[in-house]
Each structure stands twice: as C-alpha cells, then as structure tokens.
C-alpha cells in the first residue's frame, strides 16, 4: 500500500515518517487540493537520511496529539481578565482583523520596534522573519538566545567561522571515539543515539560521556566523567593542557591553520591535572584517559549542546571544547568533527549566521546591541537577537524602548528564567498573541490563541541545524476544526496592516516555492524527491570552499582557526577563553565549599528534559503522562537518606536566588553525586490555572534571568544553582492546582 513520506515536528530531531491513510490511492504525488483520509498507521522511515527508521515515544504519539480533546482547533479570544482562562470562539476574519488593527495602533503610538515576535524551530520561523522585515521592527525575541543554540553557534563562529561541534552525525559510523559532552542523546536526540550505537556495534567505537547525571549514555559509556555542574570550562582547559604537555596535537596543522597557540599554551598551563580534578570533582586518571582516547584516535568527534550552554561563562566554555578537535588537526575529515555548509535555499534567520548588510539600518538600535554587539544588532555574529533579560525589561520599563506587543509560538512563561518577572512582563503587554496547538501557560495569558497545524496536517520544508540536508514534510490528513498553517495567519495580518506590498509572497504555499527557488525546484518537485542533500567535500579549508572569497582557510578574520579571537579582541573582550567559578555554586581555590553552601548544601541542575516532552508539548497527553506523570527531583539514595525522604515523596526546593520556592517529587537515581540534584526543566502542572501550575513546579522560578553571567552574550546559570530541600508533608496539597 502506498505511503506518504513526511517528517515529525515534535522536536528538533525531525525524524522521518511513513504514513498510511484510509485512502490507499493517496500518495506524495497528490495535488494540494486533494482531500485526504484519516491516518491509518505510521512507522519510522528507514530511508530518511538521518533517523533511518527511528521514532521516539513523542513521534509515536503524533496522532494522540493531533486528536487530543484539549487541542485548540478554533481561534480563541480572551474575554476575561488576562490569565483568567475565559475565552470566546471567534472567526478567523474577526481575529486577524482585530490583531492587525491593534498592531497598527501600537506602531502609531510607539513605533514598529514596539512589536516583537518570538519563534523557535521546529515550528514556523521564516514567516516571522518576513513579518519584522515588513513592518521595520528589530525585536525578534528568541527567549533562549542566551542558553541554547545561539551561544554554541557564536562560539564556533568565533573559532572556526562555522558550526563545528554540533551533533550533525554525518559519517558518524566511521568514528572511533566519541566525546558526548553536555548532550543526552537517548532522551533528546534518540535517532542520533542509535547512530552512535551503530558505530560501537560495527567496529567497537569508544564513548566518553561528560555529564553530572548517570544518564543511559553515561552508564553505557566506556568512560563517564561525572563533572561538577558548571565547571566544563575548567575540564576543557585541563584537557587542552594535557594534549599540549603530552604532544597529543598536530604540530603541522596548528602551525599552518591556527593562530594564538602560544598564548593558549600559557593559559592552559594554569590548569594542571591536580587543579582540574579538584575543580571538576573528576578523578585525575579519568581526565587523563579521556583526553588520551580522544587525542590519539585517528577518527574522533566531540559533540556538545545545551548542557554546556547553561553553566554560565558559556562562550569561553564552548570555545575551549572546540579547541580540542582543532588541536587534534583532523577537522572536517571523515569520522571527525565536520563542517557542513547549509543547503543553498532561503533559510530562516535561525540557520544563517550574521545580519545582512541590507538590514543594518533596522538593526542599529536593536535591544542589547549596545552591551552585546556580537549577539545583537548589525554586528551580530549569528542571527541578531536581543538578550531575553533586556526584552523583559523593555516590556516592564519601556527602556531602551517600549515593547508593547508580542506574537509567539513558544512558551516563555515556562521556558524563560525568573518566572515571576516573566509573568509580570507578559501581563503588562497591550497585545499578546500565541499560535499553538494547546493552551500553554503563556497562551493562558494571551489575548488570542490561534490554532496551528500538527505536522501530519501540514506541508513544510524541514531544516536540520548543522547539516547540509533538508527534507519534505507532506500533509497526510485534513486539519481539525479551523486549524490553519501558522505562516498563513502571519502573512494575512501583514496584508491587513497594509504591508502586503512588502511581502515576496501572498500565501504559505507560495512561500514554500519562494524558499526553494535558489535550488531551481518547486515544493511539489521537492515533495517527490523527499529529501535534498547539498554538495559536500572533506577538508574544505584546504580547497577554499569555506570562505566566500574562495581562498583557502576558515571563515574567520584571520582565515585560520582562532585560539585568540580577533572578533573578541576587537570589541574589548579577552581574546582567549577564561575559566570562572559558577556564579551561584562556587567553591574556593582549595575545592572547599563557601559560606553560602552551608545553608544551601546541594547543587541543583535544571534545564534537562525527558524524551516524553519537548518544550512542554505533550504534557497533557495521557499516553505520555502515563510514562512521566510528575515533575521529578533526581537525587542519589544517599542524598535522600540524608534529608529524610524517600522515592515518591514531595519536597520543597529553596535557592538563594529568590524568596520563591517550588515543589517536586523525589526520584532516586543511583550514581548521582550526593551533592547534586536535578530538577527536570520545562514543567508545569496541567489544570485550571496553568500559570499557578507553572509557579508551583517550574524550575525557572528558582533560576535568575540576568545579563552578567557571560560577558559576551549574557548567559544562563540554570545548570548550577545552590539549593536546599525539605519534605512536604501534605502531598495532596503540594500537587493541587
């Protein structure tokens, strides 16, 4: 029976799917107007270039989400007080017209920059780029610009001129040694975890896992480095020193293709093995062996992600990690860290580094551009985003300019630090629009909730960060109710605001063709292809295929891998990475606890997630809640015994960062350091009052939102905050919403 080849959209991995419907005649070749039957069954697509048949539990719950009873399938307008949860069903015409008129009122009073948008993959992104360009606003509020992909891309661009340490997984089966650092593949990138296991099974590849938690990957690794939270920079600096001291680096490559080696060597020497071990809590022998495995394997790759971006000082941390494959000298060789150029199509700003010259005027006074010129404004290294703390301030204070409207497809009420401050800011807005499948805590505060398609109801171009790959998402069934493609609503509001002449297209379907135009194909042709992999070669720095000018070298100011960054030096930063103690969980030079830790004896990690949920999506789905019903606080059995609690008990968590507290259910995790606990991130309790359900259990209640944690872009300290716990006797009261 013919199947429709499509892709999942429930997380950033975007695995391939084969879908059968009740109409056996329906296939990928259908026209856009062909009526579609109901989903009969679906499986993972073994021919997908990346996922190769894998689907996680979220993907397997795709139909559950599509058909969920609590899904929003009609436009909803707030009729009560903001946050009251009182809604009225309205027509699309009424909703879009009112939104357009209110947007224009705000622009007339405060200027276009008072209107902000917020979007994140895997949802719609390109249309929001068009929205801001059309109205002339620079306010793209990416609420994780300080702690997710952006700092990693910035760090690699500073060092290599391109992304090099992200989990791209091309030629991964050829790798002999993996260092998986701050990335929990089993829970967050399952199809990529399978690819690592393939390399282990086929030729005995070794894995080194750097993680405070005994994750599945850590338990299965050849070597697990149980690092003290927030000390990744110290470990990386110590490993750099070991490679240099032992001659485990490629002298010819370093001489020909890098700058700043002597300065790096001098600074790294400060972190001998003893100091590195004392700082990180990792035994000296394990640090030495991990470095040896990576440095002496011909084919070895280091992959990292969010775990290293939330420990504070993230730019230095990630740059130091990136130095390890640079020293080894096998960059962009098969089985090693490779640089893959994006597909030559019109990409959302999320995937393309730097601001375009044509857009410099609009971005000149972007929020944060004065303090963080490499994060924001026309000189940004990556897509220009404000620091989220500054946007929240602009909502609350009107400085440096007022932000009075926000259109978002995200959930900042849960996803952004300092939840009470975020709540105050969102409630202060003149207009809040949320495009989503469900009423999230952020949507609970909105003026309008606009229903968006599930991936099974949608055509789309699926991009993959760090890969030269795009795939086609093909509509498999008819949308429920009055659900629409997210971008169509954005484009229609722009037309009603009077900006239609500034748009390159007039519909989402035209937008798909427009984006593929540089490849010389239409979306229908792309749908027939299923996927497109861009041209690639190894050792691109030698052939001149990394630089726009075609000269050999890397796409940096010097044309070389920069241990000492010319960009950082230009803007007054230290050109070399600096190791700093975690701001909210420091210890002294001798590795001893500080005074504050006597009152708050545990280090709390947060920001982690489980395979069941992505950015809270799916948290109300019975099939997934059955697997993970409550927000947990992971701890070692020794920790539980110390504080007089057992598995299943509820505890209150306090931190010195705030007077507010949260509650969590105790989960015992043998192997966890007794000094460390983990409050899984991005949780709220479904119920009548979704905001109350967020403030009761959300880890970001305890996490500060500041702009001084990382000097280059603000930073986050979600992975390393001191805390203390106490048992909550009345469990029913603790979880009542």
What does the H/E/C string look like for 217-240?
Answer: HHHHCCEEECCCCCCHHHHHHHHH
Apex CA 228: angle with CA 226 and CA 229, to 5°? 115
Q: Which helix (H) or strand (E) holds 540?
A: helix 540-543
**CATH code 2.40.40.20 for 596-735:** yes
**What does the pLDDT read at residue 33?**
56
- Identify the segments of the chain with pLDDT beneath 70: 1, 24-35, 169-170, 355, 357, 730-737
Q: Which residues, including other chains, have CB under 8 Å from residue 83's CB and lie 6 or more apart?
A: 427, 444, 445, 691
Question: Which distant-in-sequence residues (6+ apart) come within 8 Å of 48 by Cβ?
Answer: 7, 15, 16, 471, 531
Q: How far apart are the C-alpha atoms of 532 and 552, rounded to whole Å?
A: 27
Domain 76-144+363-533: which CATH class?
alpha beta
Q: Which of 330, 223, 235, 314 is nearest to 273 (CA)?
A: 235
Rounded CA-CA distance 23/38 in Å is 8
Residues ≥6 apart with Cβ < 8 Å to 36 = 21, 23, 26, 30, 475, 476, 477, 478
Provide the pLDDT for residue 478.
94
Q: Which CATH architecture has domain 164-338?
A: 3-Layer(aba) Sandwich (3.40)
**Residue whose C-alpha is closest to residue 155's, from 567, 594, 469, 717:** 567
Omega before 76 within 30 of 0, i.e. cis: no
- Write the pLDDT tens digit of every residue in 183-237: 998 888 888 888 888 888 888 999 999 999 999 999 999 999 999 999 999 999 9
Quick one: CATH architecture of 4-66? Single Sheet (2.20)
User: What does the alpha-carbon distance between residue 485 and residue 495 come to, in Å, rounded to a whole number?
Assistant: 16
**In terms of Cα–Cα distance, which of 30, 42, 135 is closest to 454?**
42
Q: What is the pLDDT of residue 194?
A: 86
Start-end ranges of CATH 3.40.50.740 in the chain? 76-144+363-533
Let me know: does 327 contact 333? Beta carbons within 8 Å.
Answer: no
What is the spatial distance between Cα 90 and Cα 75, in angstroms, rounded to a whole number? 6
Question: Which segments of the chain belong to CATH 3.40.228.10?
Answer: 164-338
Q: How far apart are CA 385 and CA 149, in angstroms?
A: 12
C-alpha–C-alpha distance, residues 238 and 42, integer Å:
48
Q: How far apart are CA 722 and CA 98, in angstroms?
A: 46
CATH 2.20.25.90 intervals, the chain: 4-66
pTM confidence score: 0.95
Residues of the chain with CATH 2.40.40.20: 596-735
Residue 51: what pLDDT?
92
């Amino acid at each position: 029976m013919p199947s429709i080849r499509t892709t999942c959209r429930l997380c950033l991995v975007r695995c391939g799917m084969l879908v059968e419907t009740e109409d056996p005649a329906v296939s990928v070749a259908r026209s856009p107007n062909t009526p579609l039957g109901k989903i009969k069954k679906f499986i993972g697509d073994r021919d997908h270039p990346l996922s190769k048949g894998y689907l996680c539990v979220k993907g397997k719950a795709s139909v559950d989400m599509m058909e969920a009873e609590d899904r929003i399938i009609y436009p909803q307008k707030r009729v009560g007080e903001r946050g009251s949860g009182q809604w009225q069903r309205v027509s699309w015409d009424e909703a879009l017209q009112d939104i357009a008129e209110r947007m224009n009122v705000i622009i007339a009073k405060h200027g276009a920059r008072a209107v902000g948008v917020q979007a994140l993959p895997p949802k719609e992104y390109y249309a929001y780029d068009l929205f801001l360009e059309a109205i002339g606003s620079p306010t793209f509020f990416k609420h994780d610009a300080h702690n997710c992909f952006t700092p990693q891309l910035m760090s690699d661009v500073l060092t290599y001129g391109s992304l090099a340490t992200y989990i791209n997984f091309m030629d991964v089966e050829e790798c002999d040694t993996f260092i998986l650092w701050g990335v929990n593949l089993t829970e967050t990138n399952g199809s990529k975890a399978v690819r690592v296991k393939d390399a282990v099974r086929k030729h005995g590849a070794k894995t080194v896992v750097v993680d405070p938690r005994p994750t599945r990957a850590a338990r299965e690794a050849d070597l697990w480095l149980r690092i003290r939270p927030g000390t990744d920079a110290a470990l990386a600096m110590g490993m750099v020193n070991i490679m240099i001291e032992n001659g485990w680096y490629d002298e010819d490559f370093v001489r020909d293709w890098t700058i700043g080696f002597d300065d790096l060597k001098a600074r790294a020497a400060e972190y001998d093995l003893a100091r590195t071990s004392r700082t990180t809590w990792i035994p000296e022998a394990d640090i030495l062996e991990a470095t040896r495995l990576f440095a002496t394997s011909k084919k070895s790759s280091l992959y990292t992600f969010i775990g290293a971006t939330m420990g504070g000082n993230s730019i230095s941390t990630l740059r130091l990690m990136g130095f390890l494959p640079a020293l080894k000298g096998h960059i962009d060789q098969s089985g090693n860290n490779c640089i893959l150029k994006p597909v030559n199509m019109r990409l959302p700003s999320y995937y393309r580094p730097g601001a375009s010259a044509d857009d410099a005027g609009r971005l000149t006074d972007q929020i944060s551009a004065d303090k963080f010129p490499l994060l924001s404004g026309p000189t940004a290294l990556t897509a220009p985003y404000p620091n989220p703390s500054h946007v929240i301030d602009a909502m609350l204070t009107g400085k440096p300019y007022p932000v009075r409207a926000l259109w978002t497809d995200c959930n900042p009420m849960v996803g952004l630090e300092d939840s009470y401050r975020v709540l105050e800011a969102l409630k202060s807005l003149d207009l809040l629009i949320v495009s989503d499948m469900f009423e999230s805590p952020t949507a609970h505060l909105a003026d309008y909730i606009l229903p968006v398609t599930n991936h099974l109801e949608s055509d789309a171009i699926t991009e993959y960060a760090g890969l030269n790959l795009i795939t086609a998402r093909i509509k498999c069934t008819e949308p429920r109710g009055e659900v629409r493609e997210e971008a169509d609503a954005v484009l229609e509001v722009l037309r009603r605001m009077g900006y239609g002449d500034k748009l390159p297209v007039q519909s989402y379907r035209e937008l798909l063709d427009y984006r593929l135009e540089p490849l010389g194909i239409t979306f229908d042709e792309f749908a027939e292809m299923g996927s497109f992999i861009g041209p690639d070669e190894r050792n691109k720095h030698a052939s001149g295929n990394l630089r726009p000018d075609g000269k050999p070298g890397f796409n940096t100011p010097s044309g070389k891998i920069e241990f000492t960054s010319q960009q950082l030096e230009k803007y007054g930063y230290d050109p070399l990475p600096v190791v700093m103690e975690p701001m909210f969980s420091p210890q002294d030079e001798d590795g001893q606890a500080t005074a504050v830790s006597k009152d708050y004896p545990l280090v709390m990690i947060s920001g982690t997630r489980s395979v069941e949920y992505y950015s809270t999506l799916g948290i109300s789905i019975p099939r997934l809640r059955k697997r993970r019903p409550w927000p947990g606080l992971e701890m070692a059995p020794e920790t539980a015994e110390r504080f007089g609690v057992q598995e299943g008990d509820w505890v209150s968590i306090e931190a010195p960062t705030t007077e507010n507290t949260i509650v969590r259910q105790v989960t015992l995790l043998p192997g966890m350091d007794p000094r460390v606990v983990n409050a899984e991130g991005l949780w709220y309790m479904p119920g009548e009052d979704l905001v109350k359900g967020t403030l009761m259990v959300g880890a970001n209640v305890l996490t500060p939102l500041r702009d001084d944690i990382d000097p280059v872009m603000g930073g986050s300290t979600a992975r390393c905050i001191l805390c203390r716990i106490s048992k909550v006797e009345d469990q029913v009261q603790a979880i009542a919403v």
